[in-house]
Chain A
């Protein structure tokens, strides 16, 4: 009963549209900030001391573009499920990376939105990413084709 009620509450095209836009704008913003300072982002990744140093820059070069492009596609309602899936995986990776660093007691900058005006990693960051992850998972489940550039011709 409660489950179906919850489902009908979330499965509202305006609410899903809102989730989509929020997630899209955050990822576009994060992507642009990182793209504008590849060196800084590379240092941020390196600070986590999780990736081997040879992979750090490849990650720093490509990840921001994945963020930006999935964000843009999500904004226009193109391949919403697929892009939400990619975003959710990225968020999951971020959450794990921050968790590992917190457990190791690293006092480092998050690098989440570039290094300028950066914030430190912490429980707050994990909660922030978890909320975004929930939005992503909801979009994977329910899709959102409201105001979509690619209106589906068949349902």
Chain B
């Protein structure tokens, strides 16, 4: 015969023991995460009219950023993204392959965040000093931020986060293309 009911005392002990082990292991783990997660604050450029102005005197966050050796990724607006696009800056699409294949920003390279390890070879030919723009779906999509952080961890010091992403780009009727025409 099976026991008739759950022993909640045991449930409590199992959960408490697991939590203690978890906290202890995290404490000893070199890749530990802090107990309290810090909000990922986006550095934004306040002067949206300036993106990349090598000769100008404008000192917006982004221009400063471009001149610096290496900086954490900064967020840019649609307008800034379009300027960078016209300057042939490489766009990286952080969404999954099927979404990329349906449609993406013209010339963008697919680098799905969730398959980063598999597809990171696309970065092989891109020098670490190259400016990059990471984008994903839109406002509710954090993939661009996570991809940017990953790129930064991989040594890319000039990464932009186009947080408005694909939705804004489409709404603005900027150039798009579909299919998988990257090599």
Chain A residues near B (Cβ < 8 Å) = 35, 38-39, 42-43, 46-47, 53-54, 56-58, 60-66, 68-70, 73, 79, 81-83, 85-86, 105-107, 109, 115-118, 120, 140, 142-143, 145, 155
Contact = CB atoms under 8 A, between A and B. Distances in A.
B17 interface: yes
B18 A70 contact: yes
Given A69-B17, A70-B14, A58 B3 contact: no
A82 B31 contact: no
Interface stretch (B5-13, B68-76, B170-178): B5-13
Contact of B11 (A64, A82, A116, A155): A82
Contacts of B33: 38-39, 42, 57, 60-61
Question: Chain A binding site: helix, strand, loop or mixed by DSSP?
Answer: helix
> Among A42, A54, A62, A117, which residue has the most Cβ atoms of chain B within 10 A?
A62
A86 B11 contact: yes
Given A38-B33, A65-B22, A115-B114, A81 B3 contact: yes
A58 B35 CA distance: 6
Given A38-B29, A64-B22, A65-B25, A106 B14 contact: no
B36 A65 contact: no
28 contacts: A38-B26, A38-B31, A38-B33, A43-B146, A53-B38, A54-B36, A54-B37, A57-B33, A58-B35, A61-B35, A65-B18, A66-B22, A69-B18, A73-B14, A79-B14, A81-B2, A81-B3, A82-B7, A82-B14, A83-B14, A85-B6, A107-B137, A107-B140, A107-B141, A118-B114, A120-B96, A140-B6, A143-B2
